[in-house]
Structure formats: structure tokens, C-alpha cells
């Protein structure tokens, strides 16, 4: 059974991955990163998911990097978070330069130090459009890089089962695995309640809708997602 370290942001995708690993493999721990994100409360949600699984949860503080990466709207001090659907150009402001390469390479160092067999990441096809570091070509190249980096030392696999699954498919898989979706957090704005308007809230609402799984989330603006999708379709001519 592959002992697996799971990157967990506290959202639906990585919570589902954590449950999948706990059921189908062997869960070493969840790792979350504090990179100075506005939506830092997602880290508390990752802790709740770890507690629900009885798993260890490590928070890796890389806030010292924040001042070098503030061009992203996701980081405190950056621009405002845009409203709308992910698949729109304004979402590019939510790109944190090289985020997945940074988090994964740290996770591989931790996994090698702990003699774990794998690092799990929940990238999925819905992120391909704006985030190059969520695409299959990146995942494959990262896997090769790590084989070279740890050659002769310790072999760590990159486990990425959702690379070609969309978010609705992940929600369906999560429902099958019994993921406590009410413990997960998506909103980029990091308020008391999910805003319902930012890219990740719209995507969350849409994924529950498409999968037919009941959405336990309370949104400040529960209806905006339909408008965002309509606007996105108009822009893309879809």
C-alpha cells in the first residue's frame, strides 16, 4: 500500500483526494501551505478534514515568499478578487506564479524525508484553461523531474488521479467516498460565508449542480453563478 502525503487546501478536490487515499491507499498526512493567501481560513478547513480522517496535518509556512509573489490577487496585498466564471480572462489575476511547482517540490522533500511513497495532488481538468501548472503536461514533466532529483535516494511517486476528471466528476467521487463536503472551503475571498461570486464559488456551485449531489454550502449570493455562466458562454460563444 503506497504511503501517500496529500496536498490539501481544504477545498472539495483535495478533500476528495484525501478520502480516496485513506480508502484506497495509505494516508501519511495532509499538508497545507500558508502562503499569505487572503482565504487563509481554508487552512482551518483542511485541519477539520484531517481530524475527520484521524490523520496528521502539517501546515507549512511559506509566507516569507508572499512579498515576492504579490502580483497575484490571491495574496493579501495583491489586487481585488474578480467575480465571474473561471473560464474568463480576468481570472488570470488569480495565478500565483509557480505555485504548484513550489508546493509539490516542498511536499516531495517532506515525503522523501519521511520515507513516504507518494505525493498526491488534486489538479483537475477544470483548471487547465487558466493554470498551466494544473495541466497533464506539467504533471508528467514534474514527475520526470522528481525521478531525476531523488535518483538513488528514495523513490516518491506523483499521484494525480483527477488530472483528466472535471470538478463535477470529483464531487460525484467525493459523494461515493463519503466526503463531508460541509467541512470544505472554496471561496477565494475568505469571508465568513462563501461569497457565491468569485471564480471558485461559481465553479463549486456549478459542480454540485452538474453532479446532482446536494450542495450543503450557504452562499451570500446563491444565484449569481447562473449569470456568471451565461456571461462566460456569451464571451466564449459557447
Interaction between residue 151 and a second copy (CB under 8 A): yes
Cβ 5 to a second copy, closest distance in Å? 10
Secondary structure (3-state) at 49: helix
Here the cell at position 76 is 493579501
Here the cell at position 235 is 464571451
Taking the least distance from each CB to a second copy, the nearer of 125 and 227 is 125
Interaction between residue 51 and a second copy (CB under 8 A): no
Determine if residue 72 is labeled as part of a ligand binding site. Answer: no
Interaction between residue 152 and a second copy (CB under 8 A): yes
Taking the least distance from each CB to a second copy, the nearer of 106 and 210 is 106
Task: Let me know: does 132 contact 101? Beta carbons within 8 Å.
Answer: no
- d(C-alpha 29, C-alpha 180), whole Å: 18
Site for a second copy in 3-32 (CB under 8 A): none
Any idea what DSSP says for residue 37?
B
Cβ 33 to a second copy, closest distance in Å? 10
List 24, 44, 61, 155, residue binding a second copy (CB under 8 A): 61
Determine if residue 187 is labeled as part of a ligand binding site. Answer: yes
Task: Let me know: does 55 contact 22? Beta carbons within 8 Å.
Answer: yes
Determine if residue 30 is labeled as part of a ligand binding site. Answer: no
Task: Let me know: does 195 contact 189? Beta carbons within 8 Å.
Answer: yes
- d(C-alpha 160, C-alpha 223), whole Å: 32
The residue range among 16-24, 60-68, 173-181, 195-203 that interacts with a second copy, by the rule CB under 8 A, is 60-68
List 3, 101, 175, 183, residue binding a second copy (CB under 8 A): 101
Determine if residue 184 is labeled as part of a ligand binding site. Answer: no
List 110, 175, 210, 222, residue binding a second copy (CB under 8 A): 110
Q: How far from 136 is each of 83, 173, 182, 189, CA to CA, in Å?
A: 27, 20, 29, 28
Any idea what DSSP says for residue 66?
G
- d(C-alpha 173, C-alpha 187), whole Å: 21
Interaction between residue 164 and a second copy (CB under 8 A): no
Cβ 189 to a second copy, closest distance in Å? 22
Interaction between residue 100 and a second copy (CB under 8 A): yes
Name the CA radius of gyration of the chain, rounded: 17
Here the cell at position 91 is 481570472
Q: Is the CA virtual torsion 8, 198, 79, 88 positive or negative?
A: positive
Determine if residue 134 is labeled as part of a ligand binding site. Answer: no
List of residues contacting a second copy (CB under 8 A) = 58, 60-62, 64-65, 68-71, 95-102, 104-106, 108-110, 112-114, 132-133, 135, 137-138, 141-142, 144-154
Which residues sit in the known binding site for ATP?
8-18
Which residues sit in the known binding site for Zn(2+)?
187, 195, 198, 201
Which residues sit in the known binding site?
8-18, 187, 195, 198, 201
Amino acid at each position: 500500500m503506497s504511503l501517500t502525503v496529500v496536498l490539501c487546501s481544504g477545498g472539495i478536490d483535495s478533500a476528495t483526494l484525501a478520502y480516496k487515499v485513506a480508502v484506497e491507499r495509505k494516508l501519511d498526512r495532509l499538508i497545507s501551505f500558508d502562503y499569505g493567501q487572503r482565504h487563509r481560513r481554508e487552512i482551518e478547513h483542511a485541519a477539520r478534514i484531517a481530524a475527520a480522517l484521524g490523520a496528521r496535518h502539517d501546515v507549512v509556512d511559506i509566507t516569507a515568499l508572499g512579498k515576492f509573489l504579490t502580483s497575484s490577487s490571491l495574496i493579501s496585498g495583491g489586487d481585488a478578487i474578480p467575480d465571474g466564471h473561471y473560464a474568463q480572462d480576468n481570472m488570470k489575476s488569480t495565478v500565483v506564479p509557480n505555485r504548484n511547482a513550489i508546493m509539490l517540490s516542498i511536499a516531495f522533500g517532506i515525503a522523501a524525508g519521511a520515507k513516504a511513497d507518494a505525493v498526491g495532488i488534486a489538479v483537475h481538468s477544470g483548471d487547465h484553461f487558466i493554470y498551466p501548472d494544473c495541466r497533464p503536461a506539467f504533471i508528467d514533466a514534474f514527475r520526470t523531474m522528481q525521478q531525476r532529483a531523488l535518483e538513488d535516494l528514495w523513490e516518491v511517486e506523483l499521484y494525480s488521479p483527477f488530472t483528466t476528471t472535471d470538478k463535477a466528476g470529483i464531487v460525484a467521487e467525493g459523494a461515493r467516498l463519503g466526503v463531508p463536503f460541509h467541512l470544505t472551503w472554496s471561496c477565494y475571498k475568505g469571508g465568513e460565508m462563501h461569497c457565491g461570486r468569485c471564480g471558485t464559488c461559481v465553479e463549486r456551485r456549478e459542480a454540485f449542480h452538474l453532479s446532482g449531489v446536494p450542495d450543503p454550502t450557504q452562499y451570500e449570493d446563491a444565484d449569481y453563478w447562473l449569470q456568471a455562466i451565461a456571461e462566460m458562454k456569451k464571451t466564449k460563444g459557447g
